[in-house]
Structure 1
Amino acid sequence: MYNVHGLREKLALGKFVTTVELEPPKGADPLPTMEAAKFLRGKVDAVNIADSPMATLRMSPIALAHIVQEDLGLEAIFHLTCRDRNLLGLQSELLGAAALGVRNILTLTGDSPSRGDHPEVKGVFETDSIGLARLAERLNQGYDLTGHELNGPTRFLIGGVANPGAEDLDAEVAKLAAKVEVGVRFVQTQPVFDIETALRFWERTRHLPVHILFGLLPLKSARQARYFNEKVPGVRVGEDVIQKVEEGGRAAGIALCRELYGGLREFAAGAHLFPIGDLRAVYEILDIDTDLRRAAM
């Protein structure tokens, strides 16, 4: 059976946790994601399984999270969006996930289908991420949305997202407080590229009973950094960081993440890594054995 000393317990004990985001395959074969995940077993505390990210078709995150946990013994956090399911469907998915032992959830509103590979489909969006977290907490209490009692409650560790670099930080803190009020107990943030941004957000939210895992994304180029500044709201890469990556390329991006990772250990609950298709970067940031780095190439 799966190790009961999982993410919930580690966070409660104050252990600095590390999570890594993985993308499900486009197809019925889970092997590509499993190959990536197997080298992380025993090296990170959990992996995130995205829910058709950017509204592009991918394997069910619940099914894949279950396979990762059962076959690899690696704890998983499944993403669930409000984009593709109405309130009845969301409850059904959550009950199925609980039955499969997949109990860490990241609640998301979701990207518009117009951004993805099926732009003609209609998004549902019957609720948002706060409503979804409230729904999951309701199931934890043993009741469905209409107040009918379940034959057994769920036991989800409910997560949410936040943006430490938001232009309106007061509004972002208020939104996080609303999420905590309805049941969110851990947060994985948008990428941060300097310790000051993370520390400022932590100081503003430390009164809330929530564990914050700050996002780290190893930049590969100055062009990529400028893309974030131009296209991703609330994510800011400073000119000093851009200059370092322009001069040092991928190696500089890795070095910056390693420095941030060490700094976060002083105050944060953990770090969440976005490898963006470069899993070797995870090994390098965490200083995992070089044999594993070669195996991932």
Structure 2
Amino acid sequence: MATQLYQMGTPVGICYEALCLERPNAVTAVHKSYLEAGASLLETNTFGANAHGLARYGLEGKVVEINRAAVRLARQVAGEQAYVAGTVGSVRGVRPAGPVRAELEAIYREQIEALLTEAPDALLFETFYDLDELEIALDVARSLTVLPSIAQLSLIDLGVTRDGVALSDAFARLYDHGASIVGLNCRFGPSDMLRVLEKANLRATDRISVFPNAGLLSVTDGAYHYASEPEYFGEIAQSFHAMGVRIIGGCCGTTPDHIRAMANAVAGRAPAPVKAGGNAAREGTDARRPRVAERSVLHSDDASAGELVHEKARHTHTVIVELDPPKDLSPNVFLEGARALHAAGADAVTLADNSLAVTRMSNMALGAMMKQMGVEPLLHMSCRDRNLIGQQSHLMGLHALGIRQVLAITGDPSRFGDFPGATSVFDVSSFDLIRMIKQLNDGRSFTGRALDECARFTVGAAFNPHVRHLDKAIRRLERKVEAGADFIMTQPIYDPEFFDVLADLTSHVNVPIFVGIMPLLSARNAEFLHNEVPGITLTDDVRKRMAEAGTGAHARSVGVEIARELVDAAMKRFRGIYLITPMMRYEMTVGLVEHVARTARNMDQAGSTPA
């Protein structure tokens, strides 16, 4: 439908489903062209006609009107010559996360009820990347109707869903949730879909549908094209028929000519039996079990890296120190600072990922250098700068380098940094990134493909306690822990009394919390942080003391003195201390690391270490 509307001159970027109301003649013209080509099943123009999808165009209030109109238009063309399937597309779509179950149920219920009002012959669920989401949609449909449901998955990697389920297992589960016919659509062309089915452990009782794309998409001079010719579709339709496929159709790029070629190729043929069994070497549980592989020679020995910060902080005081990567080309000063912090007793040195959207040296490169020096790096990973391809590639590189500790953060918007015209990506949120990193630990890529070994990442999450509604911030923190966060790192805190408040409010959180403390450089530095940097709030007392200290060495000594007082207060309630080095003045945090060690020894002797 979208391909044909585009070929008719409909611009990219508008809501194609809304054309059921705004240009009904264009929609019926597309239906008619496919009917005349030999189609015996027409899909309604409702792929994205749900509240979530329509909200992008401000049309979420038109869900019922658009879906009802779409069924009427398809029925008007189909008459007695073809069936009409009410089409329901995935809400999450290509993004690996989105609305949770309760939201999805409400979204699907509204759309399906609207479609059913106009009595389609079947429901067709298509382009679902996650099996669990398709199961939710089928559950809703089963609660509303006994009409046949065609349930089609889209695979990013051949043979396995994005949530890591082998295809034959996924088909079995779809039947359990009420599907009448199961199958595949989109993403791949006919050849790859045929290959997937040939390898799958299909059963003789399976009823299969296949709607491939017309090959790969290309763009020439701003125009979109698909590679596969209609004749090729006609030839491969015969192979699908021989496999036992019961419904053969087309997805992106398939024109009426493609459908005509397929219809002619299988005209007059009775359905063939399903070729059961397949030759899947990695189907079933094997598709989700990583192969045993020799460990990369670049991996550091786990034992040599020492105890990970989240493990150590469960039984003794542990220090993470942040040191900003340089804005210039030489890493020497940074590496000197990292070496000094490690010698002072820092358990890990953490490196921001272009914080405040200011361009700095790659923390991955610096982390690799630190590993060679014997200093344990903890790398921030921002959602801002890398799309999903880049995020997984980056993590695979970290794994190869033996860098195991990461902090998943959203990232500051690009427009506030030194390249305000740069694009912020934000394919996923920090919650999603945490879950996806943990998926690598399970031996599955972001797409669900089984990896040759499991990653071993420890994942931290950020927490900003300086908000008006602290209860909401605590709930957000809980969600990050539920997503898989192994430890928490807070924004810097400047109120010694607040450590007691925070400890009481987070006493139920079962992961270590590293409370942030950053020494101040001067009165101007204090006012800048308080008034201009998001997530940082200074007390009046701290601001007054820094104002009296002025600038220079004396001001820095007062800043360290305040930080020591904060460390003392924090250590009474928290084992995790997160020191933030200001402006590469690592001598300030070196002294604080040593102070933590001395204080910890004294607390141990006095028996006052936090429980």
Cα offsets for 1:227-276 (capped at 9, x unmatched): 33322344221111222222233222211111111222222132111121
Shift of 1:30: 2.4
Q: Is the 8 A contact 1:27 1:59 kept in 2?
A: yes
- Structure 2 residue identity aligned to 1:53: S
**Of the two, which has the highest radius of gyration?**
2
Q: Is the 8 A contact 1:142 1:152 kept in 2?
A: yes
Q: Is the 8 A contact 1:113 1:121 kept in 2?
A: yes
Residues in 2 aligned to 1:5 and 1:148: alpha-carbon distance in whole angstroms:
31
Distance 1:286 1:103, change over 3 A: closer
Residues in 2 aligned to 1:32 and 1:151: alpha-carbon distance in whole angstroms:
38
Q: Is the 8 A contact 1:165 1:197 kept in 2?
A: no
Whose RCO is larger (CA < 8 A, sep 6+)?
1
TM score, norm. by length of structure 2: 0.45
**Which residue number in structure 2 is paired with residue 293 of structure 1?**
none
Aligned pair partner of 2:356 in 47, 54, 57 = 54
Q: Is the 8 A contact 2:408 2:430 kept in 1?
A: yes
Q: Is the 8 A contact 2:305 2:376 kept in 1?
A: no
Shift of 1:18: 1.0
Q: In structure 1, the residue corresponding to 2:513 is in which secondary structure?
A: strand
Q: Is the 8 A contact 2:321 2:580 kept in 1?
A: yes
Distance 1:244 1:27, change over 3 A: closer
Cα offsets for 1:30-77 (capped at 9, x unmatched): 22211111111232111011111221222221221121012x211110
**Which residue number in structure 2 is paired with residue 44 of structure 1?**
346
Residues in 1 aligned to 2:332 and 2:521: alpha-carbon distance in whole angstroms:
26
Q: Is the 8 A contact 2:357 2:413 kept in 1?
A: yes
- Structure 2 residue identity aligned to 1:280: E
Shift of 1:120: 1.8
Aligned pair partner of 1:254 in 554, 560, 582 = 560
Q: Is the 8 A contact 1:65 1:78 kept in 2?
A: yes
2:320 matched to 1:19?
yes
**Which residue number in structure 2 is paired with residue 136 of structure 1?**
437
**Which residue number in structure 2 is paired with residue 274 of structure 1?**
580
**Which residue number in structure 2 is paired with residue 291 of structure 1?**
none
- Structure 2 residue identity aligned to 1:159: G
CA RMSD in angstroms comes to 1.8
**Which residue number in structure 1 is paired with residue 593 of structure 2?**
286
2:513 matched to 1:219?
no
**Which residue number in structure 2 is paired with residue 295 of structure 1?**
none
Residues in 2 aligned to 1:134 and 1:84: alpha-carbon distance in whole angstroms:
18
- Structure 2 residue identity aligned to 1:162: F
Distance 1:193 1:58, change over 3 A: same
**Which residue number in structure 2 is paired with residue 151 of structure 1?**
452
TM score, norm. by length of structure 1: 0.90
Residues in 1 aligned to 2:412 and 2:568: alpha-carbon distance in whole angstroms:
32
Aligned pair partner of 1:124 in 420, 425, 440 = 425
> Could you list the runs of 5+ residues in structure 1 that have no partner in the other structure?
289-297
Residues in 2 aligned to 1:90 and 1:124: alpha-carbon distance in whole angstroms:
11
- Structure 2 residue identity aligned to 1:133: I
Shift of 1:157: 0.7
Q: In structure 2, the residue corresponding to 1:188 is in which secondary structure?
A: strand
Cα offsets for 1:139-192 (capped at 9, x unmatched): 111112222211111111100110122221011101110100111111111010
**Which residue number in structure 1 is paired with residue 404 of structure 2?**
103
- Structure 2 residue identity aligned to 1:118: F
Residues in 1 aligned to 2:454 and 2:444: alpha-carbon distance in whole angstroms:
7
> Could you list the runs of 5+ residues in structure 2 that have no partner in the other structure?
1-299, 550-554, 596-611
Aligned pair partner of 2:571 in 259, 265, 284 = 265
Shift of 1:27: 4.4
Q: Is the 8 A contact 1:144 1:150 kept in 2?
A: yes
Shift of 1:287: 4.2
Q: Number of matched residues?
A: 287
2:371 matched to 1:69?
yes
Identical positions, percent: 35
Residues in 2 aligned to 1:9 and 1:108: alpha-carbon distance in whole angstroms:
17
Shift of 1:219: 1.6
Residues in 2 aligned to 1:145 and 1:244: alpha-carbon distance in whole angstroms:
50
Q: Is the 8 A contact 2:520 2:582 kept in 1?
A: no
